[in-house]
Structure 1
Amino acid sequence: MRIPRIAAALLTTVGLAAAVVGCADNSLQVAVDSQHEYLDGRGPITFVQGKDNSGVLPPLVARWNTTHPGEQVTIKEQTDQADQQHQDLVQHFQARDTGYDVVTVDVVWTAEFAARGWLQQLAGSMGVDTSGLIPATVHGASYGGQLWAMPTTSDGGMLFYRKDLVSAPPTTWSEMMSDCSIAHEHHIGCYAGQFAQYEGLTVNAAEAINSAGGSIVADDGVTPTVDSPKAKAGLAALAAAFADGNIPRAALTFQEEQSRQAFQTGQALFMRNWPYVYSLMSAEGSEVAGKFGIAPLPGHDGIGNSSLGGHNAAINVFSQHKATARDFLEFLASDEQQRSFLEVGSLAPVRASLYHDPALQSEFPYLETLLTSIQNAVPRPVSPYYPAITRAVQSNVYSLLQGTKDVDTAAHDISASIGAAQS
């Protein structure tokens, strides 16, 4: 994937309309022209999202369709594989398919799709109400100072710890590493995260970098900053934990489920994971049921910075029913629907007020910690070159953790790969 460099630069500073100035990409020109078409269009729409493994879609569709008889929503389910979902959207956008009206996009896809002109800008008559939403989620739906999607679900990494073995959760990374002596005494691993060579490694690496005060790219989304002293300090902390055994070598194969299984079977003292694991580890038969606590991720000097997870809903710029699509975006972010996402699918809401609801706190005891995580979360690089960035991070950080590259080399190679992606 290559985005015209002038388009990316102009998008960042002055918005989509100016992106075509001096740009010979006719497809981008067509997309920009489409920003002004069908803004009043109403009628049936198709909502495209990944496979519904949590059962949130049937009540959602029923609730909308009951009150919108002339603007019925049809669900188009994709696979449950993120890369296949991404490719499906790319193919339909490239074909200027009017049938994909509202699409679910991972937070890391928003900038890429906006830069290529495929998302309807949510401004003017297409503007949506984001008041009451957690600011980090709105930032994750924005690019170049403009809003391109509506936050619909969020997520944040949290620290799960054995409260039967640790008197209090560590508040810094160094404190946690000191507590690893407890793990060694009990002949178990200390820390489990997601360190296999896949997207989860980018998430974990970004958390280490951001929590040390560094970043992978600058705010412009294109200038590499991963070779700064603070960014390298974050990477060095991960590498040191592998080198001294505080993170077991087996963790190089861990994705979310492998790390959960290690912790749930009593083989890890600490674990970084998403909140979905809470109910699984609390269920009957779990070896750690009633024995674990939850805390924010530890950082360099205090609470660390989780990578922001979650999904946004965006309007296909080629849709012919954009007014209906806009209303549907606000429906997805409504209090009622956000509550349903949490209660039915255990999906993190984007509305801050729900985290303080006593009934929900009783049902989901981790809510306040999760809110802290999301409020301190940092999106992975908001960049039109994100696919190239994450590939560079995964490849080089994996080599670093294996011990085949040192920190300086890994950071240099990530930076060089990001620069090459823009040429």
Structure 2
Amino acid sequence: MTTRTTTRATALAATGLLLAACGSSGSGSGQAGAPSFEGRGPITYVAGKDTTGTVQPMLDRWNKAHPKEKVTFIQLPTDADAQRQQMIQNAETKSDAYTVLSLDVVWTSEFAAHQWIDKLPEKRFPMSKMLKPVVETSRYRGGLYAVPSSSDGGMLYYRTDLLKKAGVAQPPTTWGEMTGACAKVKRLPEAKGMSCYAGQFQKYEGLTVNFAEAVHSAGGRVTDANGRPDVDTPEAKKGLDFLVDSFEDRTIPKEAITYQEEDGRQAFQSGKLLFLRNWPYMYSLAEKSGVKGKFGVAPLPGLNGPGSSSLGGHNMAVSSSARNKATALDFIEFMTSEENTATFLRDASLAPPYAALYDDKALIEQYPYLPVLKESVLRAVPRPRVVPYGDVTSAVQQETYAALTGEKSSAQALRDLQKALRKAVAR
């Protein structure tokens, strides 16, 4: 999730359609049998807006080496919900404008179940070298429908300089420790006007992520292992109460109700936040900002100890209505190779899917957050892996937002969410 993932999509999609039309006649969806993955020529790569500036240089490398099979980058909005909706619209119209899709890991089951993406030949990809939780996000009913290009785990960014000056030796492992540390820091003259903590609380996929993390970090769960809703519990209420109470007592600033990833990043980098929950992509950007050398990362705190991140990241899949699928497979191999995911780690702090990269001593020396990130990924809890994910995340956002804004109590929001989730998964 990552979830970072405004709209130039219409014009770019039209460009992609023209390019696809110029290619050789590739295979269709192949849904009557196994996909054939035939056809070579221009393709498109569809993903959320690249806020790191690292994707196009990688595509330029591919295009230079494959002048007859060039890739056009179609950038969708940063809002994950808008990305998903545009990809679904393309699939439902059976348009060949989109070739390779960058899917949030929780969309894979939905897209596979609706036959919007093709089942992939697993032998083409080194899945055994990747972290097991990451690989599981790319499967549906035992088949491989996507290839992980990046993973993601939420981390706690914190101001090392201010904690040290306030006499706080270690980053917090619990919510109570975090608020206690914040109270000490805010007594410092340098912390005047600072807020304590923020995450992503606008009504979009980021809110689902932050809600799920709070619930899991308090010992609760959103659904059980079989996808059955189980959110109307005392443990889930403790998690939601942490967020609600933090807004009420201003531990979380009022304006954070509008925050997506980039809003929080900018607030942290401009000195407005002591703690921030965000994805690893932010690390390399913060290193280029005014807080360089003044921040660190730690596992997310929880109710009684370290918390649990939502498992994020992106998988690359082939649209079932695309042309030039042989090129698409080669391109996915290129983008998801260990070498190139290491490049995205170095240049954009994107969590790689390959296990070996987290244990590389040279990389750890250069990127000291890697052990924290590995722990975050391995401890992460997936968001509900259900086919009607759109209905599920919409219900979570609706009820969580109602609780955060005071429209409903935590207890009522969870009761209503339990009913909405039961209805969604029963369809």
Report the TM-score, using the length of structure 1 for normalisation: 0.82
Confirm whether residue 241 of structure 1 aligns to residue 246 of structure 2. yes
- Match for residue 185 of structure 1 among 184, 187, 200: 187
Please tell me whether residue 79 in structure 1 is matched to residue 76 in structure 2: yes
Provide the C-alpha distance between the structure 2 equivalents of 1:255 and 1:68, rounded to a whole number of angstroms: 37
CA distance in 1, matches of 2:418, 2:367: 41
The CA distance in 1 between the partners of 2:56 and 2:237, in whole Å, is 46
The number of equivalent residue pairs is 388
Aligned: 1:139 with 2:136: yes
Give 5+ residue unaligned stretches, structure 2.
Answer: 1-27
For 1:26, the equivalent position in structure 2 comes to: none
Choose which of 342, 356, 369 in structure 1 pairs with 2:345. Answer: 342
Who is 1:252 aligned against?
257
Distance 2:54 2:273 in 1: 32
- Alpha carbons of 1:339 and 1:409: their partners in 2 closer, same or farther (altered >3 Å)? same
**Gap change, CA 1:36 and 1:378, over 3 Å in 2:** same
Q: Specify whether residues 86 and 198 from structure 1 end up closer, same or farther in structure 2 by C-alpha distance, changes over 3 A only.
A: closer
- What is the 5 A alignment of 1:131-280? 131-164=128-161, 165=163, 166-186=168-188, 188-221=194-227, 223-280=228-285
**Aligned with 1:252: secondary structure?**
helix
C-alpha distance after superposition, 1:289-308 (max 9, x if no partner): 32222111112343321112
- The runs of 5 or more residues in structure 1 that have no matched partner are 1-29
Root-mean-square deviation over aligned CA pairs: 2.7
1:227-273 deviations in Å (ceiling 9; x for gaps): 13322221122223233332233322322233233333333322111
Instruction: Please state how far the C-alpha of 1:409 moved relative to its aligned partner.
Output: 0.6
Relative distance call for 1:160 and 1:345 in structure 2 (3 A) is closer
Give the C-alpha shift of residue 325 in structure 1: 3.2
Which residue is equivalent to 2:13?
none
Change (3 A) 1:65 1:258: closer
* Residue number in structure 2 paired with 1:351: 354
1:364 is matched with which residue? 367
CA displacement, residues 367-400 of structure 1 (integer Å, 9 cap, x when unaligned): 2222221222222221222222222112211221
Is residue 44 from structure 1 mapped to residue 49 from structure 2 by the alignment?
A: no
| Alpha carbons 1:65, 1:73 under 8 Å: kept | yes
Counterparts of 1:388 and 1:296, CA distance in 2 = 30
Deviation at 1:76, TM superposition (A): 3.9
1:16-165 matches, cutoff 5 A: 33-39=31-37, 41-44=38-41, 46-50=43-47, 51-64=49-62, 72-81=69-78, 82-98=80-96, 100-122=98-120, 128-164=125-161, 165=163
Contact 1:45/1:101 (<8 A) preserved: no
- Structure 1 position 207, deviation (Å): 0.6
1:201 aligned partner, one-letter code: L
- Is the CA contact (8 Å cut-off) linking 1:133 and 1:350 kept in structure 2? yes
Distance change in 2, residues 1:259/1:228 (3 Å): same
Give CA deviations for 1:314-366 in whole Å, capped at 9, x if unaligned: 12234454454334333322111112222343322111222233443343332
Q: Which of residues 296, 313, 316 in structure 1 aligns to 2:316?
A: 313
The sequence identity of aligned pairs, in percent, is: 45
Cα separation, 2, equivalents of 1:96 and 1:215:
36
- Given that 1:34 and 1:317 are in contact with CA atoms closer than 8 Å, whether structure 2 keeps it comes out as no
| Contact 2:81/2:204 (<8 A) preserved | no
> How many Å separate the matches in 2 of 1:259 and 1:88?
25
Output the TM-score relative to the length of structure 2. Answer: 0.81
Aligned counterparts of 1:101 and 1:304: Cα–Cα separation in 2: 37
Measured after TM superposition, the shift of residue 65 of structure 1 is: 5.3
Conserved? CA contact 1:35–1:317, under 8 Å = no
